[in-house]
């Protein structure tokens, strides 16, 4: 899809969509001008990045590069604060290592004013992601594919992935995602609402997940990142959603 096509939906349903843009650090000055243009036109406050995309002889890029640093600095300058990065499963012919999470560690440390939402939590590198994210206060876990791909097809693995994420990052740092290009969200939302950690020896290291935690994960955490007004009846009483590190 393109930002321009997504913008048509946002303009038609402004109360239902938040529009993010994108960049590829290999595009140099031309890409920086496009980023500026998108923000000026649509007021984007987030970007979605795919670091494993092939371009000519290049088989991907990472956020540790000087070129990427130029773009991240431009994001700060333009008021973009949420950087969503695809770090998870690949398809042929993309290189698995191009979605490694190690460059997130580097970028999050160098750009503490930005929030880095790691979509698909680096699967299958869940341990690498958790041990990195726990030390970076501006790194969040995006649960697309985790819920849709694992909740029913691999329920035991889903329990363990969610248990690790909740233990290391906590309920304030998890962001629901449905990967709508692949799966419809309704069954994922309903399934996650009904899900809880099994009370068995296999999962005894992990705690139960409260209704309040699920509300945060399903929407309140994302609303905080994007400064969305939450209706009073949907807010948590006496338990505000954690402030993002990169507050406006």
pLDDT in tens, 33-54: 999 999 999 999 999 999 988 8
Query: What pLDDT shows up at residue 80?
Result: 98
Sheet holding 82-86, edge to edge: 46-49, 82-86, 115-119, 139-142, 174-175
Residues 6 or more apart from 3 whose CB is under 8 A from it? 19, 20, 21, 22, 38, 42
Q: Is the pTM of this model over 0.85?
A: yes
Roughly what angle, to the nearest 10 degrees, separates helices 3-12 and 28-42? 0
| Burial environment of residue 96 by CB neighbours within 10 A (0 to 12, 13 to 18, 19 or more) | exposed
Q: Would you state the structure tokens that stand for residue 215, as one six-digit string?
A: 């509300």
- In the chain, the percentage of residues whose pLDDT exceeds 70 is 96
Alpha-carbon distance of 114 to 12, in angstroms, equals: 29
Mean pLDDT value across the chain: 93
Which pLDDT score is estimated for 38?
98
Asked if residue 70 lies in contact with residue 29, where contact means CB atoms within 8 angstroms, the answer is: no
pLDDT digits (tens, 9 = 90+) for 131-153: 999 999 999 999 999 999 999 99
Over 70: is that where the pLDDT of 243 sits? no
| Apex 219 CA angle, 87 and 123, nearest 5 | 20
Listed by start position, the domains of the chain span 3-234
**The 3-state secondary structure of 131-179, one letter per residue:** HHHCCCCCEEEECCCHHHHHCCCCHHHHHHHHHHHHHHCCHHHEECCCC
**CA–CA distances in Å: residue 62 to residues 11, 67, 69, 75:** 32, 9, 10, 16
> What is the biggest distance separating any 2 CA atoms in the chain, rounded to whole angstroms?
56
In the structure encoding, which two tokens stand for residue 145, read together? Answer: 């594919």
pLDDT at 171 > cutoff 90 = yes
Residue 123 pLDDT level (bands cut at 50, 70, 90): very high
3-234 CATH, one of 3.40.50.10800, 3.20.20.140, 3.90.850.10, 3.40.50.150: 3.20.20.140
* Residue 248 vs residue 158, higher pLDDT: 158
């Amino acid at each position: 899809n393109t930002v321009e096509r997504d913008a048509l939906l946002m303009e038609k349903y402004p109360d239902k969509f938040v529009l993010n843009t994108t960049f590829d650090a290999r595009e140099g000055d031309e890409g920086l001008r496009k980023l500026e243009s998108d923000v000026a036109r649509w007021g984007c406050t987030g970007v979605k990045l795919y670091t494993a995309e092939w371009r000519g002889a290049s088989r991907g890029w990472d956020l540790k590069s000087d070129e990427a640093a130029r773009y991240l600095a431009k994001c700060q300058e333009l008021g973009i604060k949420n950087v969503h990065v695809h770090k998870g499963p690949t398809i042929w012919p993309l290189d698995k290592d191009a979605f490694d999470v190690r460059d997130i560690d580097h970028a999050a440390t160098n750009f503490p004013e930005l929030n880095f939402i790691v979509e698909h939590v680096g699967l299958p590198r869940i341990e690498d992601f958790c041990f990195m994210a726990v030390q970076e206060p501006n790194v969040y876990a995006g649960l697309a594919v985790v819920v849709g791909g694992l909740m029913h097809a691999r329920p035991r693995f889903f329990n363990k992935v969610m248990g690790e994420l909740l233990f290391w990052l906590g309920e304030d740092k998890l962001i629901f995602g449905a990967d709508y290009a692949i799966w419809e969200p309704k069954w994922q939302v309903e399934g996650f609402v009904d899900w809880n950690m099994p009370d068995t020896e296999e999962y005894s290291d992990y705690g139960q997940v409260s209704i309040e935690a699920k509300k945060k994960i399903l929407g309140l955490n994302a609303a905080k990142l994007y400064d969305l007004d939450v209706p009073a009846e949907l807010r948590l009483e006496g338990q505000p959603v954690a402030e993002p590190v990169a507050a406006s």
